[in-house]
Structure 1
Amino acid sequence: MDDVAAAIADPVRREILVMLREQRLAAGEIADRFEISRPAVSRHLRVLRESGLVRDTLVGRRRLYELDGSRFAGLIGWLGQFAPAAGWERRLDALETEVYRTRRERRRRDAADQRQENTA
């Protein structure tokens, strides 16, 4: 998880990940979209590759990069504890349980009242 967090800490690497979200791209195509040098982009790609966030495939003389989103799972799970929705989800689950319990008790009480009316 730490290597993934370190890899996405840089804005250039985050932008590369966004580019690779939809399609595979060659290293040169990625580098052309930045104003930094090709060697700098290459270093960013190496960090992403070593963290497991992207994988590369050699096709002829071109190296194509693609996103491997599976490495985000650990980080997403850890970050989930800080998401405001996580607390609400538990509260809503508890509310749902309480609603079902109340309905069940009401049905039982109504059925008991009905039986008393029928026997009287």
Structure 2
Amino acid sequence: MVVDEGTDGSLDRLFHALADTTRRDILRRCVDGDLSVSELAAAYPMSFAAVQKHVTVLQRAGLVSKQRRGREQLVLTEPEAVARARQALDELETLWRGRVERMSALLDQDPLTEEHDPREGPDR
């Protein structure tokens, strides 16, 4: 099987980032408005450095960007990355629906519909 997801691993980084509950929550919080890393860190029972690492994973995946505002770094969401994830999932859904439909069509072909009674034996 040939895997065609590009050689840069961007989809891998995207789904890796989305696989973590904390990172998904950070994305949800940032959708309502741009928050600083400090504001985000206050919402979690973990260190500031741990939240920074989560934001860095999201940034490498292209889900967020950071922008300086004075001494703070604002976390800005990047909706295009979510659209890429949706597109990849839509493509997988289309592929699998096609496979299921082909399997259903094969199963609907009843081999016993021929005019041959197996009890009669060959060539009767």
Q: Could you say which TM-score interval applies, normalised by the shorter chain?
A: 0.5 to 0.7
Which of 15, 40, 61 in structure 2 is aligned with 1:5? 15
What is the percentage of aligned positions where both structures have the same residue? 31
**Which consecutive unaligned segments of at least 5 residues does structure 2 have?**
1-10, 99-124
Q: Which runs of 4+ in 1 moved over 3 A?
A: none
Residue by residue, what CA displacement relative to the aligned partner does 1:3-23 show, whole Å, maximum 9, x if unpaired?
110111110000000001110
Tell me the secondary structure at the aligned position of residue 23 of structure 1: coil
Tell me the secondary structure at the aligned position of residue 32 of structure 2: coil
- 1:78-89 equivalences under 5 Å are 78-80=88-90, 81-82=92-93
**Which segment drifts farther, 66-75 or 6-15?**
66-75
Residue by residue, what CA displacement relative to the aligned partner does 1:48-70 show, whole Å, maximum 9, x if unpaired?
11111101111110111110010
Q: Does 1:19 align with 2:33?
A: no
Task: Measure the CA separation in 2 of the matches of 1:78 and 1:70.
Answer: 12
What RMSD, in angstroms, separates the aligned Cα atoms of the two structures?
1.7
Total equivalences in the alignment: 85
Tell me the secondary structure at the aligned position of residue 58 of structure 1: strand
TM-score, structure 1 as length reference:
0.65
Q: Which protein has the bigger helix share? A: 1
2:7 is aligned to none
Tell me the secondary structure at the aligned position of residue 93 of structure 2: coil
- By relative contact order (CA 8 Å, sep 6+), the higher-ranking structure is 1
Residue by residue, what CA displacement relative to the aligned partner does 1:37-88 show, whole Å, maximum 9, x if unpaired?
11110100111111111011111101111100101222201212438xx89x
